[in-house]
Chains A and B, each alone.
Chain A
Amino acid sequence: MTGRALALVALTALALGCSKAPPPYGEGEWITEAARRHGRADERLAAGDRPAARAELLAVVAASVPTDVSQEDSRGVLQDTYFRLAKLDLDARDPRAAVADADLGLSYGKPADLFVANLLIVRGAAHEALGNGAAAATDYHQALVINDRLLTEAVRDQDDAPGEAP
């Protein structure tokens, strides 16, 4: 009887403990941590330590994103990180890993923006390195379409800026 009662108390305590587990980061902390790790990856690359740079970037994509960060913001940060990881894979002459990392980045969504264009470019380069010309051309073309749109928007914004008109 005492054993059962103890087991019951332990189970209840476990349930209470599990229900109060806090999230690892708040939204501000998550972004700060991601920015800090990107900065450290830059330092490691400048020092020629590619594996250490890669480890910093992997920590960014491995961290759980707080629920209060909007999906669009987390997408931007994560896709940019996967772009860097795929670029590192290419530098390490591992185009298959580059394709895999680019695919992971693109799995967060494919709106026509800078981050998606970068991922398409690095995946195109990886396909090119693998001798898969058709896939490379498709990725480059999609990236070019996005780039053209971004360029058009940039020119339009410049024209619309106050004080810029003749």
Chain B
Amino acid sequence: MKPEDEQPSEEELREAAALAAALENEPAGGGAPTDALETAALLRHARAPLAVPPAHAPVVAAHVAPALEARRMPRPRRSRIWIAISVVAPAAAAGWLFLAQSPMRAHRHPIQPKIHVAPPAPSSGLLAAQAAATRSGDAPGVALARLDREMRAYRRQYHEGLRRVHGGAR
């Protein structure tokens, strides 16, 4: 370590004393450096609250009042714009998807006429059971049960025909 780092010079001591005096708002001697005085002045102002001289108060109030009033007033126009955007943007996105996807889907899977699969012709046994069930008698449940049994085979045949045409796992 150099000896000059340990012992401040006389000039440094004088400048430090002048800076301390300037910070305490005391009249500084002639040895105070200009940049140190400026720094001290800034520090003093930072600590002190901002005060407007009473003579200038009406002028400042006249300048500040409109800005304060504008901040205090609600901003209906901006709110309306945001509400409108909130409604219109999702609706537009959904509409765009609907319009954009339909032709794409139609292109990938061309719309085909719906196919109707004619039911198989009923067997004579099924028709006989149906005719018997239309006659009310002492035991309508028996005729209905027979019709139900006959329908099972017919139903399997009908579903099989539908699956053959429309696809689907067995």
Selected contact of B98 from candidates A19, A77, A117, CB within 8 Å: A19
Give the chain A neighbours of B7 by CB distance below 8 A.
Answer: none
Question: A150 contacts which chain B residues (CB < 8 A)?
Answer: 122, 127, 130
Interface status of A109 (Cβ within 8 A of chain B): no
Q: Tell me the count of chain A residues lying within 8 A, CB to CB, of chain B.
A: 59
Residue of A nearest to B152 (CB): A42
Cross-chain contact A151 with B127 (CB below 8 angstroms): yes
A104 to chain B, nearest CB (A): 18
Closest to B158 in A: A76
Q: Is A99 an interface residue (CB 8 A)?
A: no
Within the complex, the shortest CB–CB distance from B147 to chain A, in Å, comes to: 7
Are B114 and A68 in contact, with the CB atoms below 8 A? Answer: yes
B44 touches A (CB below 8 Å)? no
**Does A28 lie within 8 Å of B85, measured CB to CB?**
no
Say whether A27 faces chain B, with CB atoms less than 8 Å apart. Answer: yes
A124 and B134 form a contact (CB under 8 A): yes
Which of B20-28, B61-69, B160-168 lies on the face that meets chain A?
B160-168
Contact A147 B131 (CB under 8 A): yes
Picked from A28, A118, A128, A136, the residue with its CB within 8 Å of the CB of B130 is A118
Query: Given A76-B158, A114-B119, A154-B122, A15 and B151 touching (CB < 8 A)?
Result: no
Q: List 23 A-B contacts (CB under 8 A).
A: A4-B86, A8-B86, A8-B89, A27-B166, A27-B168, A28-B166, A28-B167, A29-B168, A29-B169, A31-B163, A32-B169, A34-B159, A70-B114, A70-B115, A70-B117, A77-B162, A87-B148, A114-B130, A118-B130, A143-B133, A147-B127, A150-B122, A154-B124
Residues of B within 8 A of A (CB): 82, 85-86, 89-91, 93-94, 97-98, 101, 114-117, 119, 121-122, 124, 126-127, 130-131, 133-136, 140-141, 144, 147-148, 151-152, 154-156, 158-160, 162-163, 166-170
Q: Residues on A close to B: CB < 8 A?
A: 4, 7-8, 11-12, 14-16, 18-20, 26-32, 34-35, 38-39, 42, 68-73, 76-77, 80, 83-84, 87, 90-91, 113-115, 117-118, 121-122, 124-125, 128, 136-137, 140-141, 143-144, 147, 150-151, 153-154, 157
